[in-house]
Amino acid sequence: MIGFLNEHSLGDHGASEASLNFFLLAAQELAREGTILFKDSHFFLTADFAREFNALSLPKDVRALIRELVFGERYYRCWRPERLSNDIDQYTCHEPVLALQDHSICEAAERKILDNGLEASLLSAEDSAFQDRYQISVSKDRTRQQIELRCLSSLSLVRRWVTEQRGYYDPASAVAPKDFQTILLKLPDRFRATSKIERRGFRRVFEEMETCRLYYVDEGHPGGSAHIEVFSAHGEHLGTADINTGELDGSARVNGRTLKL
């Protein structure tokens, strides 16, 4: 789970006590769940933002916490030193309609494009165009790849998102299970995540440590047909596995099929 502080949601009204308090409380809540939180420090270190922050009437104890939130890295660290996006590519947010370049939303979208199984969210100011939009669509203009991001603009939505990460997968779902909803992440003593990404569905590849077999969730099979594809250490297709037990079904093996990375 990763979350990005959506500085674009502050664009219309600048810094406000309510929005900054929300970012603080959300960070404290998500930290307990081990969520990695990012922000764009370049935005918060501008002279304009500093003036807006200094003009806020914050209690002394709260001001110290929020100062650390926006200017330090206790709660959110800057994504730019480890960015996967670049400052040239353009992205489009479809609702609210926004043309984006070199923003936190772009970085969140790029990470999701590179790993479709990643659970990523945007923490957005309630008093913004992102209010009450629990899911937003973002596309990369150059490649036309489109992904969905969770949009969290209240503590109730933060808690809803956390609850959904507990591992339950609805067999009636119209989308394939996330990695955390399968045995691949539920049994860390059996499986480990690799750096490999399967080419067609952009899903993370996991290794079964005892056998060195390679596993990934098939992005094209949601609901009752959801399953995991299984390959040998050399990339030869061995069949499919149950998302809850990992039991191999060798009858589903496709001769000549190899792992596409």
- pLDDT value of residue 59: 86
Beta bridge partners of 108: none
| Cβ 29 vs Cβ 155: under 8 Å | yes
pLDDT 10s digit of each residue in the chain, 261 long?
A: 899 999 999 875 567 888 999 999 999 989 877 889 999 999 998 888 888 888 888 888 888 999 999 999 999 999 999 999 999 999 999 989 999 999 999 999 999 999 988 889 999 998 889 988 999 999 999 999 999 999 999 999 998 888 777 677 888 889 999 998 999 988 888 999 999 999 988 999 999 999 999 999 999 999 999 999 999 999 999 999 999 999 999 999 999 999 999
- pLDDT value of residue 107: 97
Has this prediction a pTM greater than 0.85?
Answer: no
Angle formed by the axes of helices 17-31 and 155-164, to 10°? 20
CA distance linking residue 212 with residue 189, whole number of Å: 13
In this predicted model, what pLDDT tens digit does every residue of 49-85 receive, in sequence order?
A: 888 888 888 888 888 999 999 999 999 999 999 999 9
Residue 122 φ/ψ, nearest 5 degrees: -115, 125
Q: Identify the burial level of 52 via C-beta atoms within 10 angstroms of its C-beta, where 0-12 means exposed, 13-18 middle and 19 or more buried.
A: middle
- pLDDT value of residue 91: 98
Residue of 147, 153, 115 lying closest to 134 (CA atoms): 153
List of E strands, 141-199? 145-152, 191-197
Q: Which residues of 103-124 are buried (b: 16+ CB within 10 A; e: fewer)?
A: bbbbbbbbbbbebbbbbbbbbb
Residue carrying structure tokens 């764009």: 40
- pLDDT value of residue 246: 94
